[in-house]
C-alpha cells in the first residue's frame, strides 16, 4: 500500500499562499508537497508570490504542465484543441484541462490528502477533484471535511456507530449533548447542514475525532493514517487573517490585490483585481478588465486578440467595446456607486468592494 501523500496546490492567490504558510508554521510534521499548474498566462506578480513562498517554505513548488512537450503556451495549445472556443463559466475547459487533469496525473493512484484554502467566511466548496483516492481537507473552515464526507458520516444508517465511537472517544462533559445530536435522525425538518452545525457548535475537535475514527472504517485516504493533527484544530480563518499571515510572514500580498486610484467626473475611486489566475479570466468583473487595460495595456491587447470567430470573454460585450471612453466612464461610475455601498476606507485592498466576485470561479485557479 502506498504512503498517503499530502499536497497543496498554489494558485497564485492569497488563500492558497496563506494556507501554505499556515500549515508550514503550525503543522511542520506534515510532509506537504506543493504544486502549481501552469497556464503560461499568469501575471508576473503570480510568479513573484511563488518565488517568495519557495523562500519561506524552504522547498520548491512543483510546476505542472498538462501539455509538457508542447512548444506553445499551455493555454494556446489547448485553445487550438478546442477549435478556438474560449472558455466560459458554463464551459470551463481551461480548469479541467490545465488545472485538475495535471494535478490528478501528478497524484496518480496514490492515496492523497489535498489541502484547500477556502476560508471560514466563505460558503462554497469549489471546483475540486472527486477522484476516490483524493480527499480534500479545508483547514481554514469550522468544518474541515468535504461535503461528500459529511454526507457519508451523517447518513442515518451510521447513527449507532457514531454514538458508539462518541462513547469510546469523548470524555468531556459535552459527550451527552453530542450523543443527543447524533441520535437525532436526519429528516425534512432536521437536515444535514443543521445537524452538522449543531455538532460543530458543541465541539469542533470532538466532532472531528468522531469523524476521523469513523473514516477508519472506509477506504478514504485518511483512513490509512494513525493520527491526523488537524482534528484538534479549532481555528476559523477569515479574509483579514489571510492578509495578516502573508504580511507577517514576509511572503507579501500580490500587488494586483492592492487598490489603484482612478478619477472620473472629478471623483476619485479605486480598482484592482479580486483574484489570481490568468490575466484574461472570464470571471473578472468589468472594472477589473478596465484595471487590466489601464495598468497592463499589453496584456489587455493580447486578451483582445483572442476574441475572434464570434467568441468573447464576456457573454454580453466585446473587449474592444468595453474600452470606448464613454463605456470606461460608465463602468468607473458604477464602481464608485458600489464603493459607496461597501466602503471600508481602512483597507488597502478592494476585496471588500469586489466581494461578490470573489465567490465566483474555480478553487483550482483562485484560492
In angstroms, how far apart are the furthest CA atoms of the chain? 69
Residue 257 backbone dihedrals phi, psi, to 5 degrees: -80, -20
Q: Residue 309, Cβ neighbours under 10 Å: how many?
A: 9
Residue 67 grid cell: 501539455
Q: What is the per-residue DSSP string for 21-75?
A: HHHHHH-TTS-EEEEEE--S-B-HHHHHHHHHHHHHHTSPPEEE-TTTT-SS-HH
With beta carbons less than 8 A apart as the criterion, state whether 126 and 115 touch. no
Tens digit of each residue's pLDDT, the chain (367 residues): 689 999 999 999 999 999 999 999 999 999 999 999 999 999 999 999 999 999 999 999 999 999 999 999 999 999 999 999 999 999 999 999 999 999 999 999 999 999 999 999 998 776 677 789 999 999 999 999 999 999 999 999 999 999 999 999 999 899 999 999 999 999 999 999 999 999 999 999 999 999 999 999 999 999 999 999 999 999 999 999 999 999 999 999 998 999 999 999 999 999 999 888 899 999 999 999 999 999 999 999 999 999 987 899 998 899 999 999 999 999 999 999 998 887 655 555 555 445 544 545 555 554 5
Q: For residues 178 and 165, what is the distance between their CA atoms, to the nearest angstrom?
A: 11
Q: Which domains does the chain have, with CATH numbers?
A: 5-146+234-249 (3.40.50.620), 150-224 (no CATH), 255-366 (no CATH)
pTM: 0.90
With beta carbons less than 8 A apart as the criterion, state whether 23 and 128 touch. no
**How far is Cα of residue 106 from the mean position of the Cα atoms in its chain?**
19
Residue 320 grid cell: 474592444
Q: Report the DSSP beta bridge partners of residue 160.
A: none
Q: For residues 216 and 226, what is the distance between their CA atoms, to the nearest angstrom?
A: 9
Amino acid at each position: 500500500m502506498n504512503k498517503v501523500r499530502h499536497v497543496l496546490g498554489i494558485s497564485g492567490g492569497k488563500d492558497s499562499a496563506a494556507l501554505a504558510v499556515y500549515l508550514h508554521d503550525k503543522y511542520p510534521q506534515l510532509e506537504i508537497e506543493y504544486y502549481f499548474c501552469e497556464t503560461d498566462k499568469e501575471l508576473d506578480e503570480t510568479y513573484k508570490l511563488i518565488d517568495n513562498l519557495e523562500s519561506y517554505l524552504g522547498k520548491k513548488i512543483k510546476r505542472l504542465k498538462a501539455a509538457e512537450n508542447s512548444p506553445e503556451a499551455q493555454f494556446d495549445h489547448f485553445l487550438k484543441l478546442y477549435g478556438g472556443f474560449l472558455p466560459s463559466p458554463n464551459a470551463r475547459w481551461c480548469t479541467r484541462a490545465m488545472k485538475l487533469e495535471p494535478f490528478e496525473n501528478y497524484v496518480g493512484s496514490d492515496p492523497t490528502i489535498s489541502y484547500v484554502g477556502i476560508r471560514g467566511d466563505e460558503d462554497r466548496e469549489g471546483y475540486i477533484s472527486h477522484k476516490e483516492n483524493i480527499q480534500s481537507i479545508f483547514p481554514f473552515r469550522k468544518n474541515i471535511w468535504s461535503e461528500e464526507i459529511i454526507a457519508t458520516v451523517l447518513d442515518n444508517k451510521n447513527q449507532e456507530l457514531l454514538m458508539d465511537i462518541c462513547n469510546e472517544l469523548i470524555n468531556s462533559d459535552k459527550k451527552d449533548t453530542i450523543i443527543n445530536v447524533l441520535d437525532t435522525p436526519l429528516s425534512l425538518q432536521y437536515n444535514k447542514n443543521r445537524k452538522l452545525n449543531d455538532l460543530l457548535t458543541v465541539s469542533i475537535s470532538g466532532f472531528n475525532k468522531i469523524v476521523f475514527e469513523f473514516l477508519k472504517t472506509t477506504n478514504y485516504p485518511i483512513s490509512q493514517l494513525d493520527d491526523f493533527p488537524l482534528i484538534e484544530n479549532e481555528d476559523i480563518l477569515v479574509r483579514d487573517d489571510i492578509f495578516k499571515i502573508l504580511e507577517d510572514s514576509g511572503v507579501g500580498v500580490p500587488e494586483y490585490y492592492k487598490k489603484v486610484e482612478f478619477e472620473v467626473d472629478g471623483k476619485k475611486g479605486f480598482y484592482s483585481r479580486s483574484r489570481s489566475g490568468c490575466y484574461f479570466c472570464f470571471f473578472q468583473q468589468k472594472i477589473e478588465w478596465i484595471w487590466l487595460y489601464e495598468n497592463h495595456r499589453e496584456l489587455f491587447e493580447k486578451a483582445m486578440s483572442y476574441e475572434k470567430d464570434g467568441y468573447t470573454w464576456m457573454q454580453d460585450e466585446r473587449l474592444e467595446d468595453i474600452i470606448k471612453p464613454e463605456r470606461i466612464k460608465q463602468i468607473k461610475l458604477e464602481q464608485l456607486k458600489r464603493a459607496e455601498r461597501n466602503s471600508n476606507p481602512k483597507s488597502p485592498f478592494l476585496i471588500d468592494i469586489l466581494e461578490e466576485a470573489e465567490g465566483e470561479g474555480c478553487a483550482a485557479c483562485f484560492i
